[in-house]
Structure 1
């Protein structure tokens, strides 16, 4: 059962968290392009698609910690420091995504898309700030990934 839970946890992380990190990273440059070329339908469509990917996969990503807790419980490592740090970093990453990344994406999409004409409601500086918080989000996930692989104190020799 432990192997099954671990497999589902890892697959869920790859399938759910991976697209969010990639799409969120691609969003600021795509938004800058859409702001620079407001009549470019392809640029506008790209921004909307990346935004939708981030929202949908962020929701799907909830299963990752659920299966993570189940796996950790089955492995008997819930009290290990590396896991507690991973849980804390995951919580911070979730807050960054929910409170900073997605709302800023929403504001940019609404600013670009409003009547497909009023591009002035959002500026390129918003995309720079979004890129910064997206970078923080991605670094948090990178740290969690490293902790999950290295697992300090692990008996696997990794």
Structure 2
């Protein structure tokens, strides 16, 4: 009888233990899955460089990493305080560097995409006079899968390091 009770107790403990693994909760009552970091769009080194000549577009630079799979496409990027925003790329065409709107940019899991001088960047058209060097504004990135992230941009003067 003792061994039957022991086996039953072990079986109950294993069953309870396995069930707990599938739905573990933290001190706030969230499951382990819900408690994982929610940042799937990670943006680092984000800055907006103001134009040297008032009325010209400002340029946004940053490093973007998509932390999940699925390969969504960047649908749009908007800069708060700009009349409009466009994603541009600099390419070598017929031996000359040319800037134009970028082709759709697909994101690969955990593969950084750099928005930098001489490559991809965001053109912030008609920047408002309220955008001042040393300040901050926000940028919103929207993906084709419906995800979006709003991140702060440090505002830099035209002559500052890009």
Q: TM-score, normalised by structure 1?
A: 0.27
Bigger share in strand: 2
Q: TM-score, normalised by structure 2?
A: 0.26
Bigger share in helix: 1
Q: Which has the higher contact order (CA 8 A, sep 6+)?
A: 1
The structure number with the bigger radius of gyration is 2
